[in-house]
């Protein structure tokens, strides 16, 4: 499998939304929210974006407070962060403004239960007006709507959707080694078995690639694959 990011619709929509945030007009707020179920490719799409723009990426954690979150952000900015929280906030504001570095906060669900963390992130945005993107699971959209001051600053929402057949084809084309091609019928079986979840599609494509390599196939059909599952226990492969 190739270590690349397939340009599926969720990635393209996330890119579009991010471009809108960066080029927004005066008065349009600059917070973005990407949300969707686990395994749908949110972190992968975010990686793709922040690498292009020298963004700051941090992952919130269950045990975080405003201070530990700021510590991690300052760490990403290359500083040791052994300071008081107000110094860390000032330093981050300076860095974000000076170099126009957007901030991406993954697993942002953990921010929702802590007003101080949310307010700190809002301070970072209000003092820089540089885009801040929160990435979280389904619940985040509902929970954030009750935080009005935050909610009103969000101008781009992206809900990550299950992959459709076109997306699975794009993933197969981008990820499979040796130009291995797969019959659309088999890709559609994989899509259904994975409920459109990117993580499980990638696991299934990896299995298809193994079958192709072991049997020297450059085109894998549903018939080659047979009735075996894409995930979990599998019977021995097609040929010897």
Ligand X SMILES: Nc1ncnc2c1ncn2[C@@H]1O[C@H](COP(=O)(O)OP(=O)(O)OP(=O)(O)O)[C@@H](O)[C@H]1O
Q: Which residue is nearest to Mg ion (CB)?
A: 43
The dihedral formed by the CA atoms of 190, 204, 173 and 213, expressed in degrees to the nearest 10: -120
In this structure, what are the phi and psi dihedrals at residue 56, rounded to the nearest 5 degrees?
-105, 125
Cβ nearer to ligand X, comparing 93 with 165: 165
Cβ nearer to ligand X, comparing 88 with 112: 112
Asked if 159 and 35 count as a contact pair (C-beta separation under 8 A), the reply is yes
Cβ nearer to ligand X, comparing 202 with 238: 202
Contacting positions for ligand X (CB under 6 A):
5-6, 8, 11, 38-44, 137, 198-199, 202
User: Per the structure block, which two tokens stand in for 87?
Assistant: 């110094």
Q: Which does 200 bind (CB under 5 to 8 A by kind): ligand X, Mg ion, none?
A: none
Q: Which does 40 bind (CB under 5 to 8 A by kind): ligand X, Mg ion, none?
A: ligand X
SS3 106: strand
Q: How many residues does the chain have?
A: 240
Find the part of the chain contacting Mg ion (CB under 5 A) among 23-31, 40-48, 96-104, 185-193: 40-48
Cβ nearer to Mg ion, comparing 50 with 225: 50
Cβ nearer to Mg ion, comparing 43 with 228: 43
Find the part of the chain contacting Mg ion (CB under 5 A) among 35-43, 147-155, 179-187, 221-229: 35-43
Helices in the chain by DSSP H: which ranges? 9-22, 42-53, 66-76, 85-99, 115-128, 138-144, 148-151, 165-175, 184-193, 198-214, 222-225
CB contact set of 44 (below 8 Å; sequence gap of 6+): 5, 11, 198
CB 236 → ligand X: shortest distance, Å? 26
**Judging by beta carbons within 10 Å of its beta carbon (0-12, 13-18, 19+), is residue 117 exposed, middle or buried?**
buried
Q: 157 has which bridge partners? A: 33
- Given candidates 20, 43, 127, 228, which one binds Mg ion under the rule CB under 5 A? 43
Find the part of the chain contacting Mg ion (CB under 5 A) among 39-47, 62-70, 91-99, 139-147: 39-47
Q: Which does 67 bind (CB under 5 to 8 A by kind): Mg ion, ligand X, none?
A: none
Q: Which does 198 bind (CB under 5 to 8 A by kind): ligand X, Mg ion, none?
A: ligand X
Question: Which residues of the chain form contacts with Mg ion (CB under 5 A)?
Answer: 43
């Amino acid at each position: 499998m190739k270590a690349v990011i397939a340009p599926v619709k969720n990635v393209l929509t996330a890119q579009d939304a991010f471009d809108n945030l960066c080029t927004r007009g005066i008065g349009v707020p600059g917070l973005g929210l990407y949300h969707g179920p686990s395994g749908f490719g949110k972190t992968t799409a975010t990686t793709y974006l922040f690498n292009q723009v020298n963004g700051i990426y941090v992952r919130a954690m269950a045990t975080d407070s405003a201070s530990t979150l700021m510590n991690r952000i300052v760490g990403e900015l290359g500083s040791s962060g052994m300071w008081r929280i107000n110094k860390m906030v000032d330093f981050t504001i300076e860095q974000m403004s000076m170099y126009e570095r957007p901030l991406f906060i993954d697993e942002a669900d953990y921010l929702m239960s802590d007003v101080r963390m949310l307010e700190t992130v809002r301070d970072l945005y209000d003092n820089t007006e540089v885009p801040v993107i929160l990435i979280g699971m389904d619940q985040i959209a509902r929970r954030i709507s009750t935080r009005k001051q935050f909610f009103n600053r969000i101008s781009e929402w992206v809900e990550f959707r299950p992959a459709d057949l076109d997306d699975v084809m794009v993933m197969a084309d981008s990820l499979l080694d040796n130009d291995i091609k797969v019959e659309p019928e088999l890709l559609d079986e994989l899509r259904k078995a994975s409920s459109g979840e990117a993580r499980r599609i990638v696991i299934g494509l990896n299995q298809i690639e193994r079958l192709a390599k072991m049997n020297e196939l450059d085109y894998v059909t549903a018939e080659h694959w047979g009735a075996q599952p894409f995930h979990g226990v599998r019977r021995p492969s097609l040929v010897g």
